[in-house]
């Protein structure tokens, strides 16, 4: 009907579904609790006031700047964020830093799932549906944290997430 087809193999589909599900769970928590999911045994980081969101965005920007994430090729930025998150999870970092990296890894997942649809399988009805449902659950949480726009450095690191975000924002 619309030229849909060209689906990924079942192993890839399952992995994309798992990533979309985990990203949706993380982002749903943000929407329901208006906070970032807490580390084990800690209080969640609130998103209810402007100061809290500003602190998270400052940490986000510091991680990007300190690691030159907005000037390296996109796959390298994703790998670097994942590596930083693994190191941070071993302890010794602030909750703000760890939670910000957790958010960044979730954004990596959203970007990766969207990329698989837009670049690798643009005619896949299964991936179209997956990205559509993921967008419905994840983009409102992105809006809670970052407001109505994403900075250009975020767009460089997560170009496919940015496309999904803009489409969601346009469709309100």
Q: Which residues of the chain have pLDDT under 70?
A: 1-5, 73-74, 172
pLDDT of residue 72: 72
CA-based nearest residue to 159, from 60, 52, 73, 62: 73
C-alpha to C-alpha distance for 143 and 85, rounded to whole angstroms: 22
* Residues sharing a CB contact under 8 Å with residue 56, sequence separation 6 or more, in sequence order: 36, 45, 47, 96, 99, 100, 103, 145
pLDDT of residue 172: 67
Is 156 within 8 Å of 145 (Cβ atoms)? no
Residues 98-117 have pLDDT tens digits of: 999 999 999 999 999 999 99
Listed by start position, the domains of the chain span 10-34+55-171
pLDDT of residue 74: 64
C-alpha to C-alpha distance for 20 and 2, rounded to whole angstroms: 24
pLDDT of residue 2: 45
* Residues sharing a CB contact under 8 Å with residue 39, sequence separation 6 or more, in sequence order: 95, 98, 99
Q: Which residues of 58-88 are buried (b: 16+ CB within 10 A; e: fewer)?
A: ebbeebbeeeebbeeebeebbebbeebbeeb
pLDDT of residue 4: 53
CA-based nearest residue to 108, from 92, 126, 86, 93: 86
- Residue 106 CB neighbour total at 10 angstroms: 24
CA-based nearest residue to 20, from 170, 153, 159, 133: 133
C-alpha to C-alpha distance for 16 and 24, rounded to whole angstroms: 12
pTM (global) more than 0.75:
yes
- Residue 3 CB neighbour total at 10 angstroms: 8
């Amino acid at each position: 009907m619309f030229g849909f087809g060209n689906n990924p193999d079942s192993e890839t589909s399952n992995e994309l579904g798992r990533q979309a599900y985990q990203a949706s769970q993380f982002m749903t928590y943000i929407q329901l609790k208006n906070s970032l999911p807490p580390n084990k045994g800690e209080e969640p980081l609130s998103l209810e006031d402007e100061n809290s969101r500003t602190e998270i965005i400052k940490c986000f920007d510091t991680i990007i700047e300190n690691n030159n994430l907005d000037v390296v090729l996109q796959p390298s930025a994703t790998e670097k964020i994942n590596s930083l998150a693994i190191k941070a999870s071993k302890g010794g970092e602030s909750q703000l830093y760890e939670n910000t990296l957790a958010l960044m890894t979730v954004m990596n997942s959203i970007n990766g799932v969207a990329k698989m649809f837009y670049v690798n399988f643009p005619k896949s009805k299964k991936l179209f549906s997956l990205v559509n449902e993921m967008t419905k659950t994840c983009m409102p949480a992105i809006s809670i944290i970052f407001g109505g726009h994403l900075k250009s450095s975020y767009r460089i690191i997560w170009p496919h997430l940015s496309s999904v975000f803009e489409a969601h924002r346009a469709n309100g």
